[in-house]
A = this chain, B = another copy of it.
Amino acid sequence: MSGAIPERAVELLGEVRRRRPRIHCLMNSVVPKFVADGLSALGAIPSMTSSPEEVGHFVAKADALLVNLGTLDAQRREAIGIAVDVADEKGRPWALDPAHCDYSPPRAAFAQELLARGPAVLRANAAEYDLLAVPADVVAVRTGKADRIAWNGAVLHVENGHPLTALVTGTGCLSGAVIAAFLAVEADPFLAASAAMLVFGIAAEMAGKTATGPGSFEPALLDALASLEGTHILQFAKADNEQG
C-alpha cells in the first residue's frame, strides 16, 4: 500500500485545491494567523472563531473541524463542546490536537475525554501521545523526526520533514490543520492523514532548501505549500509500511 500513498496524496492535494474546503479551527491564541495562512496556501479556506456564541454557526458552514487544545479555559472548553456537537450533527470529520497536554494534567484529562467523542484523527507529538489512550477507531498520528500514522493494524512511517520545523512555533498545529483539510476531501481517515503528513513533510523539505534560518523558513514553508506539485510528491516521498 505504501507504493500507492504518494499517488493518492497527489490526487488528494488536487482535490483540496479544486474544492477549496472550509476548515474551522479551534486554534490556540498563539498561532492562529500562521495556521490560517498555511491552510490558505494549501488551497483551503480557514476560519478561526472560538467564541461560544458564534462557533456553531462557523462549524455549520465548514467541511471539517480542527480542535487544538493549545489555549484552554472555561470559555474555550464550552466552545469546543459546541463545535464537536455541530460537527457530529452535520456529519463533518474532525481532528484533535492535544497541544502541550504534557505540561498540564487538566489538559491531558480533557484530551482523553475528547478522544471518546470520536475524532477521525488524533495528531500529537511523542510526549503528548504517550499520555493518551487512543481508541482503536481513531487514526493515531504521532509526529516527530519521523511521523507514524496508525489505524486498524495498518502503520505508515513518513520520514519527510526538516529540522527547522521544530524551531517555528505552530508548525505542529499547522500539520493538524492540514490533516483536517485532507479529511474534508477524503472519507478514509488513514489515507487523509497519510497524505497530509506527506504533503506537509515534503513542503518542509522544499522550504529548508531556501531558508537561511528559522525566520526565513516560515514564509518559505507557506510558499512551498502553495507551489508544491504532484511531481515533487512522487519524487521525494519517503513513506513506508511498518514491518509487523
Contact = CB atoms under 8 A, between A and B. Distances in A.
Contact of A226 (B30, B61, B167): B167
Given A37-B214, A75-B73, A214-B226, A58 B167 contact: no
Interface stretch (A2-10, A151-159, A216-224): A216-224
Interface in A25-73: 29-34, 36-37, 40-41, 46-49, 51-54, 57-58, 61, 70-73
Contact of A49 (B54, B100, B223, B224): B100
Task: Give how many copies assemble into the complex.
Answer: 3
A196 to B, nearest CB: 19
Contacts of A215: 37, 41, 218-226
Contacts of A107: 54
A243 interface: no
A231 interface: no
A41 B58 CA distance: 33
Contact of A103 (B30, B47, B76, B224): B47
A169 B40 contact: yes
Given A168-B37, A214-B41, A218-B215, A47 B226 contact: no
28 contacts: A30-B48, A33-B170, A36-B169, A37-B169, A40-B166, A41-B167, A41-B214, A46-B169, A47-B100, A49-B103, A49-B104, A51-B72, A53-B72, A53-B73, A53-B74, A53-B106, A54-B72, A54-B103, A54-B104, A57-B103, A73-B75, A167-B226, A212-B223, A213-B219, A213-B223, A214-B226, A215-B224, A216-B222
Interface of A: 29-34, 36-37, 40-41, 46-49, 51-54, 57-58, 61, 70-76, 100, 103-107, 166-170, 212-216, 218-227
Given A54-B103, A212-B227, 4 more contacts: A47-B100, A49-B72, A53-B74, A213-B222
